[in-house]
């Protein structure tokens, strides 16, 4: 099952979130601008999906995306295939301070590559899936603390690993795999519940 | 006023300290009637766009609840000295909108009996007002904030008109509870919720399922909405203005100024004709204590000696059950609460209450979310999915708030041994809930346990804050919800802080708005009553100006 950009956009448009963050630094100069005006009050309205969002990743960001997708591939169930467009659109579309987050991604990937080189002699995205799992299992990734302003590895756990896990397990695809169409954290609308005999 | 201009407003009629639910409707009401209002708020105005990020903090297993809205640190320091630790900063927010940014938006009214505990039962004390006195203000508050509620729910006190919006439809787990409850003659009914289902002038609920503690869509009512409306009517808002003390004139009859500090270290003095202390049940009495003077050596508005005393909360309890092999969250629901049980709000023996009233709300989310479970695990890939799947989806949960009787020795004072970031003594909470509340918790947890067992489920947790080693409980289960009392209302200046209009007995131009004025706690979530009382006070202030 391929996790597509469409999956990501569906989620983002439901939330009106794509309008809130420029995302331009991660999505290219055209960004995900919409016609919606930003307002600073609670009466702000939901917006249209950014259907004209770019699909190409700038060259200088390609290796970052390769690493994030490579990480998502081993974090997510084997049944799903996290595409670059899913990671790029859904994940970064939900980031508020995208420039600060891009900084965390850059430094996190550097840390991740350091661990990968120590463990298997190459950058993380260049390793096989088994080797990537080994890097995770043989370091403090996953087993160590996850702290937004902690040590290098703790920050990887918080800003890369947990962010990718949030993106998947609070999406309809991830939710349905554990029995809910609308997992907490996903704006799947309200008020629908099937009758008891279903 | 721009966000950076922190200078005092010129010659306002009313100065309101705090920008939460006890302030917002009152400020809007007065501004709408042509009065010049200035609001001094200790915290910032939060950006709506940041709410997604705050919601992620809520879902992340390693972030504490107080981090969601940036609470904690020296500014918010406090101590506890009672039998129980008492969480404060995980239960409140400083900022425009106050604790309503974080609330669950469940808005039942108090019951008629809650105002008449002494005359009906010979315990606690009557309020100086009745349910009927507050009834029109309840209706006004419900209209202002937009409540989706049941017009025909059993047990609730009488209504004069329909709720502004139809009730939320029952969730799948509500239906499970209702079917099993019916077999036990326990009625499950809709709860009134301040959530927009599409008819109000704010975003519609989008179903994030994280109302408590963050609503990213803005569908949940938060008091920043009425602060904004007040500003549109001409009110001035000054954020990050931390009020240090209130000063009175030479005769000690009136407050003349609120002294506040701003982040640049400057001290400002806001003058006004009328002052309203609406800074929450902890900060309001602390502010009055810190404003002691030669005329008022025990603190402002404290000639009765009751300031800080008769403090209460709603000691929480909860029940969690598991329905083996059954998915309990197959719906696409959203709001965290939609139904509840008020059958045990009234006492088993109406003439002889031996336990606290019980306000049960059934939760549409039980246990950690899939994302929280996934982040907390150490595995990856298929093994991780299997682990999350195993833990998620077959649980049911009900939470409840329980009535607690007012006691003189449960109190808020100031602790001179510790100071906040401004050098002021911090608030101290000394609270020891009694058997009355404990027995209410037992009644509620027994009832919900019976329902879950009727479904064929297994109860895995059924407890309240008064039974187990309190400090061993997870933070979410601990007390600290719904702080009430400490500046109670009464007719007698010798035994109360404010009168029925929330005007202090001692100083004619000083009012207190908030849960602090409650005489008894009832069991209903208190914010709607706080807002109704504030509208009543606004009427009185309007007449006085």
Q: Do B371 and A185 lie within an 8 Å CB cutoff?
A: yes
Q: Nearest-CA residue of chain A relative to B377?
A: A142
pLDDT of amino acid B84: 75
A–B CB contacts, 8 A cutoff, strictly below? 207
pLDDT of amino acid B325: 81
Residue A149 near chain B (CB below 8 Å): no
Question: Does any domain span residue B9?
Answer: no
For residue A92, what pLDDT band results from cuts at 50, 70 and 90? low
Q: Do A170 and B370 lie within an 8 Å CB cutoff?
A: yes
List Cα–Cα distances, B264 to B4, B72, B302, B420, in angstroms: 10, 20, 33, 17
Instruction: Please compute the mean of the pLDDT values over residues B3-11 and round it to a whole number.
Output: 91
pLDDT of amino acid B30: 98
Which residues, including other chains, have CB under 8 Å from residue A117's CB and lie 6 or more apart?
A123
In whole numbers, what is the pLDDT of chain B averaged over residues?
Answer: 94
Q: Nearest-CA residue of chain A relative to B330?
A: A180
pLDDT digits 0-9 by tens, B118-141: 999 999 999 999 999 999 999 999
Residue A11 near chain B (CB below 8 Å): no
Q: Do B331 and A181 lie within an 8 Å CB cutoff?
A: yes
Strand order in the sheet with B79-80: B79-80, B425-430, B411-419
Selected residues 74-133 of chain A with any CB under 8 Å from a CB in chain B: 74-79, 94-97, 133
DSSP 8-state class, residue B167: P
pLDDT of amino acid A30: 30
pLDDT of amino acid A54: 41
pLDDT digits 0-9 by tens, A27-48: 222 323 222 333 333 332 323 3
Parallel, antiparallel, or unpaired for β B255-261 and B411-419? Answer: unpaired
Residue A193 near chain B (CB below 8 Å): yes
A80–chain B nearest CA distance, Å: 10
Range of the domain at B343: 14-544
Q: Is B122 exposed, middle or buried (0-12, 13-18, 19+ CB in 10 A)?
A: exposed
Which residues does chain A have within 8 Å of residue B219's beta carbon, measured at their own beta carbons? 190
Specify the higher pLDDT residue, A186 or B279: B279
Instruction: Please compute the mean of the pLDDT values over residues B383-388 and round it to a whole number.
Output: 97
Nearest CB to B380; choose among A20, A75, A166: A75
Question: Does any domain span residue B7?
Answer: no
Q: Do A74 and B380 lie within an 8 Å CB cutoff?
A: yes
Place of tokens 């336990």: B355
Q: Is B226 helix (H, G, I), strand (E, B) or coil?
A: helix
- Please report the DSSP string for B103-161 in residue order: S--B-PPPPGGGG-HHHHHSSS---SS-HHHHHHHHHHHHHHHT-B--TT-SSSPP-SS
Question: Does any domain span residue B232?
Answer: yes
Which residues does chain A have within 8 Å of residue B46's beta carbon, measured at their own beta carbons? none
CATH code for the domain of B29 = 3.50.50.60
Question: Does any domain span residue B6?
Answer: no
CB B189 within 8 A of CB B339: yes
């Amino acid at each position: 099952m391929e996790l597509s950009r469409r999956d990501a956009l569906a989620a983002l448009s439901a939330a009106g979130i794509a309008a809130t963050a420029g995302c331009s630094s991660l999505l290219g100069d055209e960004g995900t601008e919409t016609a919606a005006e930003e307002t600073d009050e609670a009466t702000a309205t939901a917006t249209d999906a950014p259907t004209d969002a770019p699909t190409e990743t700038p060259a200088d960001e390609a290796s970052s995306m390769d690493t994030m997708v490579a990480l998502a591939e081993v974090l997510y169930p084997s049944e799903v295939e996290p595409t670059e467009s899913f990671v790029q659109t859904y994940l970064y579309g939900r980031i508020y301070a995208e420039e600060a987050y891009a900084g965390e991604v850059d430094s996190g990937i550097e840390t991740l590559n350091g661990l990968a080189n120590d463990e298997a002699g190459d950058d993380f995205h260049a390793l096989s899936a088994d080797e990537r799992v080994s890097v995770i299992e043989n370091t403090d990734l996953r087993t160590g603390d996850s702290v937004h302003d902690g040590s290098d590895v703790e920050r990887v756990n918080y800003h890369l690993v947990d962010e990718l896990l949030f993106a998947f397990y609070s999406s309809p695809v991830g939710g349905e795999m554990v029995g809910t169409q609308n997992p907490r954290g996903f704006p799947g609308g309200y008020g629908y519940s099937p009758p008891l005999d279903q | 006023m721009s966000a950076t201009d922190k200078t005092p407003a010129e010659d306002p009629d009313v100065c309101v300290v705090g920008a939460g639910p006890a302030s917002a409707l009152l400020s809007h009401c007065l501004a709408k009637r042509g009065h010049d209002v200035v609001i001094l708020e200790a915290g910032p105005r939060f950006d709506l766009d940041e709410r997604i990020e705050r919601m992620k903090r809520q879902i992340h297993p390693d972030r504490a609840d107080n981090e969601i809205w940036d609470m904690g640190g020296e500014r918010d320091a406090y101590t506890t000295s009672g039998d129980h630790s008492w969480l404060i900063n995980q239960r409140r927010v400083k900022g425009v909108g106050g604790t309503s940014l974080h609330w669950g938006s469940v808005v039942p009214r108090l019951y008629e009996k809650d105002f008449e505990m002494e005359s009906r039962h010979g315990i606690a004390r009557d309020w100086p007002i009745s349910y009927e006195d507050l009834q029109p203000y309840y209706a006004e508050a419900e209209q202002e904030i937009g409540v989706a509620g049941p017009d025909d729910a059993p047990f609730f006190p009488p209504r004069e008109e329909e709720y502004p919006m139809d009730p939320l439809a029952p969730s799948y787990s509500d239906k499970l509870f209702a079917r099993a409850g019916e077999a036990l003659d326990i009625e499950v009914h809709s709860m009134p919720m301040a959530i927009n289902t599409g008819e109000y002038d704010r975003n519609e609920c989008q179903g994030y399922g994280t109302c408590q503690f963050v609503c990213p869509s803005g569908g949940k009512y938060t008091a920043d909405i009425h602060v904004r409306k007040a500003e549109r009517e001409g009110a001035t808002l000054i954020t990050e203005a931390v009020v240090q003390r209130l000063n009175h004139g030479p005769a000690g009859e009136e407050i003349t100024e609120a002294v506040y500090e701003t982040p640049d270290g400057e001290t400002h003095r806001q003058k006004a004709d009328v002052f309203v202390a609406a800074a929450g049940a902890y900060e309001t009495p602390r502010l009055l204590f810190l404003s002691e003077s030669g005329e008022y050596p025990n603190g402002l508005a404290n000639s009765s000696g009751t300031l800080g005393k008769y403090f209460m909360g709603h000691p929480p309890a909860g029940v969690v059950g598991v329905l083996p092999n059954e998915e309990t969250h197959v719906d696409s629901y959203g709001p965290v609460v939609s139904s509840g049980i008020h059958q045990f709000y009234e006492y088993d023996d109406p003439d002889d209450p031996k336990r606290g009233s019980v306000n049960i709300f059934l939760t549409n989310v039980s246990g950690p979310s899939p994302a929280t479970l996934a982040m907390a695990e150490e595995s990856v890939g298929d093994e991780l999915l299997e682990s999350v799947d195993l833990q998620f989806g077959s649980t049911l949960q009900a939470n409840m708030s329980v009535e607690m009787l007012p006691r003189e020795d449960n109190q808020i004072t100031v602790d001179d041994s510790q100071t906040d970031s401004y050098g002021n003594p911090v608030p101290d909470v000394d609270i020891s809930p009694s058997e009355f509340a404990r027995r209410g918790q037992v009644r509620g947890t027994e009832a919900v346990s019976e329902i879950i067992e009727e479904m064929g489920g297994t109860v895995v947790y059924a407890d309240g804050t008064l039974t187990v080693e309190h400090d061993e409980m997870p933070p979410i289960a601990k007390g600290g919800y719904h702080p009430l009392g400490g500046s109670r209302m009464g007719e007698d200046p010798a035994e109360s802080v404010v009168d029925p209009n929330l005007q202090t007995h001692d100083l004619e131009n000083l009012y207190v708005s908030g849960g602090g004025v409650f005489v008894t706690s009832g069991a209903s979530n208190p914010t709607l009553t706080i807002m109704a009382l504030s509208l009543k006070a606004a009427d009185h202030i309007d007449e006085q100006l």
